[in-house]
Chains A and B, each alone.
Chain A
Amino acid sequence: MRQGRYRFIVGALAGPIVLYAVLVLWPYLQSFYVSLTDWSGYTSERRLIGLANYERLLKDPVFWISLRHNLLAAVVLPVFSIGLGLFFATMLNVAGRAKKAAVQGVRGASFYRIVYFFPHLLSIAVIGVLWSFVYDPTGNGLLNGFLGLIGIDPVNWLGSTRTAYWAILAVIVWVSVGFYVLVFTAAIGSIPPDMYEAAMLDGASRWRIFWRITVPLIWDTVQVALVYAGINALDMFAIVNVMSAAGGSGGPNNSTQVLGNYIYLTAFEHGRFGYATALGVALFVVTIVLAVITLRFMRRDRVVY
């Protein structure tokens, strides 16, 4: 009955494993070696230079600026997008009029959910182009046009080192809030309604209910969302590449530079492949460290119900 079992296993796995090994595993493995070479330009010559790339990296101010920007994003984005996401999800699901000693969502909750989530489905590149126009430095941009109506002079949002990175972070928040609303809506939906009912009958305030029931019961989901947001904060490549001044330079003056974009520029604009790969290894290390820290801090007893 089970003849040809091994033939089947080999036949099924051979293709995918070869594809994966050649296009994914092999490049990843190679990268650690490439990061130890002075490979540059489109020649096949590469010389082992030991840890020189890493030494240089530690002294490279742009590396540190980029890293700082990624880490800033890893702090700011979770606070705003998860905070707002949780706030709106609570509003949508348990802030409705409590006529009947029961919590319920506001009217039109599904409309809001659809609207909030839609930007998340759009390509980041498309969003970046769109928001570049919203931020247009002249009065023709949506934002400066609006400020003009209330008598404020146009601000060069993406062209000024003071505002550019914050303007980009705001776009990420704009995109991702709806996603977290959806995630938390699913989590809140799985809380037994009796819990809310009992709390309301006991006269607990909304605020208390939020902190004592909603948050503990969806804490697992909040954790996952934090990790997810942190990981996205270490990316930011597409949005910076599309929105930053002078065609994705991470400008003005590296004020929006992030590691992903710096790696891209180093490799594919300047052809310094060895150094770019060393930056890639650094990004990998940062990712792992951040993930470990997040998971450490987030541990909190799971509530069983």
Chain B
Amino acid sequence: MSVHSQPRALDPKPPARTEPPRRSGRDQADIGGRTLNVFSHAFLLTWAVLVILPLLWTVLNSFKSDDEILTSAWSLPGSFSLDSFVRAWTTANIGQYFLNTAVVVSLGVILTLGLGSLVAYVIARYPFPGNRVIYFLFVAGLTFPVFLAIVPLFFVARSLQLANSLPGLALIYTAYYLPFAVFFLTAYFRTLPDSIADAAFIDGCGHWRAFFWVMLPMARPGMISVGIFVTIGQWNQFLLPLVLQTDPDKYVIAQGLASLAVSQEYASDWSGLFAGLTLSMIPVLVVYIVFQRQIESGMVAGAVK
């Protein structure tokens, strides 16, 4: 489907902090509540185990030898060796895929945010003939499934030399994430007060300066939400690289691991593949733990708002 989610309402505010509702009040025994409590913990714990188990199993398997993997699913690794990680990083090219992904995503996110905020700012705050048309053209991009465009895009990208090129892929990501960024940020810029921009103009500030030094800093919370959503989307993008990056040297991580898994039937370096999976999860886990609150609110805002 489309490469981005479908934001709906025009409210760009990050959602309220998600504290559970609580109030202190009078004492009141609630036996029903207590049984429910035991039950709810049982359910919650079961799901947590279901989520953690496959992930943990993957990590453990990456420490096992191939023999150990092929004898029992539930055994623990005999020794913790890092060989498989080294093999995954170098021989299986995971390191290269990581680097490619980092280049594409960082370039793509910077461009998406830069161009998206510029378009959104102009649409939101400069009435001119054609303003609505441009807004509509961008927002229309949210409703089309990317599968509709994929064949023509493939040929456009080839003729413009954007296929099999990391900056090229970043440009294509940018183009396909612009509708989301424009939609979200236009609503955000509309909520900002006029007075500050007006004051900047009176002080002799040019339009570009007013944008970069006054308005953009004010839009920071909105930019962060969009940035998180776009980063995660582009990091996980699968269809576009699969179609456009046919040269294995240009693979991104998701694509690289998938192709490794298929070719694994011949090479059969199981622990190396598990190590590759583990490696691809580690940065996500680290970033998530560090930016947990921002990521959670950014994802919810991006999808629902």
Contacts and interface: CB of A to CB of B under 8 A. Distances in A.
A92 interface: yes
B128 A104 contact: no
Interface stretch (A21-29, A51-59, A159-167): A21-29
A130 B17 contact: no
A186 B48 CA distance: 20
A186 B18 contact: yes
A172 interface: no
B288 interface: yes
A148 B207 CA distance: 69
B72 A237 contact: no
B161 interface: no
Contact of B175 (A5, A20, A134, A146): A20
Contacts of B115: 15-16, 19
A267 B299 contact: no
Chain A interface residue number, banded: 35 or more
A252 interface: no
A263 B147 contact: yes
B69 interface: yes
Given A34-B151, A105-B20, A88 B238 contact: no
A109 B44 CA distance: 9
Interface in B128-175: 128, 134, 137-138, 141, 143-145, 147-154, 156-157, 160, 162, 171-172, 174-175
Interface string A1-39: 110111011001101110110111111101100100000
Contact of A92 (B44, B152, B303): B44
Nearest to A28: B149
Interface in B230-275: 232, 235-236, 238-239, 242-243, 253-255, 257-258, 260-262, 273-274
Contact of A101 (B8, B26, B149, B204): B26
Nearest to B19: A189
Given A101-B28, A115-B48, A118-B288, A284 B148 contact: yes
A180 B69 CA distance: 34
B280 interface: yes
Nearest to A235: B1
A86 interface: no
B150 A267 contact: yes
A145 interface: yes
A264 interface: yes
A219 B69 CA distance: 47
B293 to A, nearest CB: 10
Chain B interface residue number, banded: 35 or more
B161 to A, nearest CB: 13
Contacts of B274: 133
A206 B31 CA distance: 11
Interface of chain A: mostly helix, strand, loop or mixed: helix
Contact of A98 (B30, B47, B254): B30
Given A19-B115, A26-B152, A100-B26, A123 B236 contact: yes
Given A8-B207, A27-B156, A120-B299, A191 B21 contact: yes
A178 B149 CA distance: 31
Interface string A239-283: 001100001100000000001100110011000010011011101
A188 interface: yes
Interface string A85-124: 0011001111111111111111011011111111111111
Given A24-B176, A100-B27, A115-B48, A283 B58 contact: no
A205 B172 CA distance: 53
Interface stretch (B33-41, B83-91, B186-194, B216-224): B33-41
A91 B40 CA distance: 6
A9 B33 contact: no
A28 B118 contact: no
B128 to A, nearest CB: 6
A63 interface: no
B304 A221 contact: yes
Contact of A8 (B152, B171, B208): B208
Contacts of B171: 19, 23
Quick one: which of A108, A125, A273 has the most chain B CB within 10 A? A125
Contacts of B160: 22
B51 A145 contact: no
B196 interface: no
B27 A178 contact: no
Contacts of B73: 136, 139-142, 144-146, 148
Given A96-B37, A118-B55, 5 more contacts: A13-B118, A27-B151, A149-B74, A189-B19, A224-B8
28 contacts: A8-B207, A22-B156, A26-B152, A28-B148, A34-B151, A84-B47, A99-B28, A100-B28, A121-B284, A123-B254, A124-B254, A125-B257, A126-B257, A129-B273, A132-B261, A144-B73, A179-B299, A186-B304, A189-B16, A189-B20, A190-B16, A196-B21, A205-B32, A227-B8, A238-B239, A241-B242, A242-B261, A264-B150
Interface of B: 1-2, 5-6, 8-9, 15-28, 30, 32-34, 36-37, 40-41, 43-44, 47-48, 50-55, 57-58, 61, 69-74, 115-116, 118-119, 121-122, 126, 128, 134, 137-138, 141, 143-145, 147-154, 156-157, 160, 162, 171-172, 174-176, 178-179, 201-202, 204, 206-208, 211, 232, 235-236, 238-239, 242-243, 253-255, 257-258, 260-262, 273-274, 277, 280-281, 284-285, 288-289, 292, 295-297, 299-300, 303-304
Q: Which 3 A-B pairs have the closest CB atoms?
A: A145-B73, A105-B20, A235-B1
